[in-house]
Structure 1
Amino acid sequence: MSITAAADGSALGNPGPAGWAWYIDEDTWRAGGWPHGTNNMGELKAVLDLLEATAVDADQHLHILCDSQYVINSVTKWMPGWKRKGWRKKDGKPVMNVELLKDIDRALAGRSVEFEWVKGHSGHAMNEAADVRANAAATAFSKQQDPQVGPGYRGSEGVASETAPGASSTAAPADDLFSLFDQAEGEPASSCSTAVEETVLVADGPGASDFEQVAVREQALLGDRLRADPPSAAELLHPAFTEVGTSGRRYDRDEILAHLAPLEGVEAEEFVADEIAPGVVLLQYTTHERRGAVHRSSLWVRENDRWLLRHHQGTATFGADDAHRDLRGR
């Protein structure tokens, strides 16, 4: 016997209201999410919840259809090495989304599980069904509504319909970067605009490291909310900000802000931060886009107790003849 299911995640703005879902058939699916999260969080949570829900049939082979190479590589390639290094990467930096990954590792014990990559938004029926439900959950959280959680898995205990909104099955991992949104309540307001104010409060929550502060700001600049509001985005850019786009062209701050646009279909992962001098952090990560991967580097500097983006550069791995995309979304 074998169980085949699709698992998917969705984040509006990435980060932003986030959802996850797995789907077997119209009578067997489940969804949930968080007020704030990332695509990667949603993808991982969908896999974790699927493993937990199907544990009642642990003797059956589980075939997981997934459109996230980040999830597949994390579970099948990178996780053994991370575990040996105390859940740290080769450079010694902590693994992102570590609590979700640890839970997945435990849920995999004794199971026969196979991952298959499927191209997202390509008409694959089960993948589309999971995607629709994950997106619906994210949309519900964006409207401060309860998501449709689905019937769950036949025969499993604690099906989704019995889980109250905000319960542990939909709560963000305690050690995850974006759990800091929950720590923003009661903090004094700054003079920033609303979107930037929320970002700053999240990043500067109690115990937040320089890495967390910089990573939250960087991901906010990749999100649709700030990119649709150039004046707010400007509050995170240094007055002397420059960018070298994937085309090799250099842009100044005014050019970037004048052409800021959403980054459709872009997923960021593998953030690595290094303090190269007091108050100076180099953040490196990869974005996966329609034409391939782009390696990105951002230099953040701390001035007057504020982290500001001083320089950004993208290096494309796809051909020079392809259309190039830089921080402006072009």
Structure 2
Amino acid sequence: MSDLDIYTDGACKGNPGPGGWGALLRTGTHEKELWGGERDTTNNRMELTAVIRALEALKRPVSARIYTDSKYVQQGISEWIHGWKRNGWRTASKAPVKNADLWQQLDKLAGQHQLQWIWVRGHTGHPENERADALANRGIEELKPSKEQKP
């Protein structure tokens, strides 16, 4: 087991709209930056994707602290997911869980590690959260224009 800090963020220009995700992984003095984007998505999907991609990058089980500015991610994985699984991926009001595909991926990946989920207030100068946000925005910026957008 290793000691690892993971900082994640998602961003969206419009909701839905073009979105990006970013993750900063740090252990000791070693860092790894990850980012990507999707043309038509939501902010919540990008927040979840950031954590999923960070966990997919791990080569072995770890003990990690995951920092997110998304209460949706932090509360979803720490609290709500237990009821959703018990209810067949339905909410307490019997509606299908939004983003169930991503929640199921995250649940499977999280089960391979010892994770502590930490919420941080976004856009308040937290250096690593600001870096994750910049990576998420980089994911949006690097989306290639679609054929319809070319002159």
* TM-score, with structure 1 as normaliser: 0.41
In the alignment, is residue 50 of structure 1 matched against residue 51 of structure 2?
no
Instruction: Give the secondary structure class of the aligned counterpart of 2:134.
Output: helix
The aligned amino acid for 1:16 is G
Q: What residue number does 1:40 align with?
A: 44
Q: What residue number does 2:63 align with?
A: 61
Distance 2:21 2:112 in 1: 24
Mapping for residues 310-321 of structure 1, pairs under 5 Å: none
Distance 2:93 2:12 in 1: 28
Q: Measure how far apart 1:27 and its partner are.
A: 4.6
Distance 1:69 1:134 in 2: 17
Unpaired segments ≥5 residues, structure 2? 147-151
Distance 1:79 1:47 in 2: 15
Q: What residue number does 1:197 align with?
A: none
Q: What residue number does 1:119 align with?
A: 121
Distance 1:113 1:45 in 2: 16
Name which one, 1 or 2, has greater alpha-carbon Rg: 1
Q: What residue number does 1:188 align with?
A: none
Q: What residue number does 1:23 align with?
A: 24
Mapping for residues 1-330 of structure 1, pairs under 5 Å: 1-24=2-25, 27-54=31-58, 56-58=59-61, 60-141=62-143, 144=145
Instruction: Give the secondary structure class of the aligned counterpart of 2:57.
Output: helix
Unpaired segments ≥5 residues, structure 1? 146-330
Distance 1:15 1:139 in 2: 16
Distance 2:10 2:35 in 1: 9
Distance 1:83 1:27 in 2: 34
Instruction: Give the secondary structure class of the aligned counterpart of 1:121.
Output: coil
Distance 1:68 1:127 in 2: 11
Distance 1:52 1:110 in 2: 10
Q: Is the 8 A contact 2:6 2:67 kept in 1?
A: yes
Q: Is the 8 A contact 1:18 1:42 kept in 2?
A: yes
Deviations 1:261-290 (A, max 9, x none): xxxxxxxxxxxxxxxxxxxxxxxxxxxxxx
Instruction: Give the secondary structure class of the aligned counterpart of 2:113.
Output: coil
The aligned amino acid for 1:5 is I
The aligned amino acid for 1:64 is I
Deviations 1:166-203 (A, max 9, x none): xxxxxxxxxxxxxxxxxxxxxxxxxxxxxxxxxxxxxx
Q: Is the 8 A contact 1:17 1:139 kept in 2?
A: no
The total of aligned residue pairs comes to 142
Instruction: Give the secondary structure class of the aligned counterpart of 1:43.
Output: helix
Q: Is the 8 A contact 2:91 2:97 kept in 1?
A: yes
Q: Is the 8 A contact 1:19 1:137 kept in 2?
A: yes
The aligned amino acid for 2:35 is A
Distance 2:55 2:31 in 1: 17
The aligned amino acid for 1:85 is N
The aligned amino acid for 1:39 is N
Q: Is the 8 A contact 1:5 1:126 kept in 2?
A: no
The aligned amino acid for 1:67 is D
Cα 1:133–1:110 change in 2 (3 A) is closer
* TM-score, with structure 2 as normaliser: 0.88
Moved over 6 A (4+): none
